Copies of this chain bind each other. A is one copy, B any other.
Amino acid sequence: MTITQLQYVLAVAEYQNFTVAAEKSFVTQPTLSMQVQKLEDELDVRIFDRSKKPISITDAGKKIVAQAKNIVNEAKRIKDIVDQEKGFIGGEFTLGIIPTVMPTLLPMFLKTFINKYPKVNLVIREQNTDSLIRNLQDGHLDAGIAATPLDIEFITERPLYYEPFVGYVPPSHRLRKEEKLSPEDLDIHDILLLEDGHCFREGVVNLCKASQNFEDHFHLQSGSFETLVNLANEGLGMTLLPYLNAVDLDERKKSNLKYFEEPPPAREISLIYHKKELKLHITNALREVIASVVRGAIRFQDVKIISPVSKNGT
């Protein structure tokens, strides 16, 4: 049994087709077919059922594929271990970012990072917190950026910055006359929120919960802050924006912003990664780059951190 054979098996399992799998593995079809056969002979079990097309995986095959994935992944990590030992900052690095952070944070640090560490092949994925955690666990992500604290056993959280919430209050809104917002003033029923799954929503819900007894139903949920702002302008209520999104608004819309009293409620944005610390060198490099660019953009000493995790265990 060789690692190559396992990789071939994984390719066939993925593409459900020997010819395609061979192409993707950069070998000819007979090469791949023979190696898969050899492994099947050695284990004395069929992994794939080729009697019909498209081919299917046998029961034993499913378990073998699962284990093969495991082995091939662990084998790949040998290279990471060596890189880390050498202090080499390079190779592939996959970073997941939650949707409400992505558009504002990514442009701030991306250029700086790829210039400073040109040998890192940075792969960015936009994912909500739940899939982010799952992908960190099974090794599909090397690190993630999410609202914290999450308090998950196998994850290390390294705070990057604290981002206050800012109110977007259109002229027609009852809170328009207030100089500063206070969490007690908020009414969850006239705040426009992002759709479920975005952890920013959980944060806002928690913020309102802190001052009100709150039942779980909303006027409306949308997928982007831009939509929320436009809906607010239509008189459908107010909305809350993270600070970095708020400063990105055009001048006309900025006039509708209302800040909170000190200390403003804020979300904690952290770099999170598996406690196994597999690519710690790159992770640390990333953290320093982000921290340095954010330091110029956000400067708040005293904030009140709002948890992104819903209390009733979503």
Contacts and interface: CB of A to CB of B under 8 A. Distances in A.
Interface string A68-103: 101100110111011001100000000000000000
Contacts of A3: 1-3
Nearest to A79: B43
Contacts of A45: 82, 85-86
Contact of A63 (B68, B71, B85): B85
A82 B70 contact: no
A60 B82 contact: yes
Interface string A173-194: 0000000000000000000000
A23 interface: no
A78 B1 contact: yes
A59 B84 CA distance: 11
A151 interface: no
Nearest to A45: B82
A292 interface: no
Given A74-B74, A75-B71, A82 B1 contact: no
Contact of A85 (B60, B77, B81): B60
B77 A74 contact: no
Contact of A81 (B1, B63, B79, B82): B63
A86 B2 CA distance: 22
A3 B44 CA distance: 19
Interface residues on A, range: 20 to 34
Interface string A58-69: 011001100110
Contact of A67 (B60, B63, B67, B77): B77
A70 B64 contact: no
Contacts of A43: 78-79, 82
Nearest to A88: B44
A188 to B, nearest CB: 38
A62 to B, nearest CB: 10
Nearest to A2: B2
A8 to B, nearest CB: 14
Contacts of A4: 2
Contacts of A75: 1, 71
A68 B60 contact: no
Given A3-B3, A60-B85, 8 more contacts: A2-B2, A43-B78, A45-B82, A60-B81, A63-B81, A64-B81, A67-B81, A68-B78
Interface of A: 1-4, 43-45, 59-60, 63-64, 67-68, 70-71, 74-75, 77-79, 81-82, 85-86
Q: Which 6 A-B residue pairings sit nearest by Cβ, starting from the closest?
A: A60-B85, A63-B81, A71-B74, A43-B82, A45-B82, A67-B78
27 contacts: A1-B3, A1-B75, A2-B2, A2-B3, A2-B4, A3-B3, A43-B78, A43-B79, A43-B82, A45-B82, A45-B85, A45-B86, A59-B85, A60-B81, A60-B85, A60-B86, A63-B81, A64-B82, A67-B74, A67-B77, A67-B78, A67-B81, A70-B74, A71-B71, A71-B74, A71-B78, A74-B74
